[in-house]
Amino acid sequence: MQHGRDEELLDWVRQAHQTSTWTASVCSGSIVLAAAGLLDGKRATSHWAALSALKILGAIPVGDERIVQAGDRIVTGAGVSAGIDRWPGIGP
């Protein structure tokens, strides 16, 4: 993923995280968070095809949870449609 190598983007993510209430990603966006160092040693999820990259970047990949909270301000989500049934009025 080319965005995981974009130092300008990674610097922006690091700076934004310093003052954010929440830092979150969906799908392979967690690769950017991991490349920025925000997921070092933390549990995280992603699209199933990107889980191995999370490990390479220092995160602890979680493949059996759709939403993973890492610490008190970081949340990662699996594939884009993984949480659809969690919205009110949708799903069981």
Active site residues: 27
Task: Find the helix or strand (DSSP H, E) in which 31 lies.
Answer: helix 29-35
d(CA 39, CA 4): 13
d(CA 69, CA 89): 23
| The two structure tokens encoding residue 24 | 């979150």
Cross-strand pairs, 63: none
Q: Give residue 7's identity as a one-letter amino acid code.
A: E
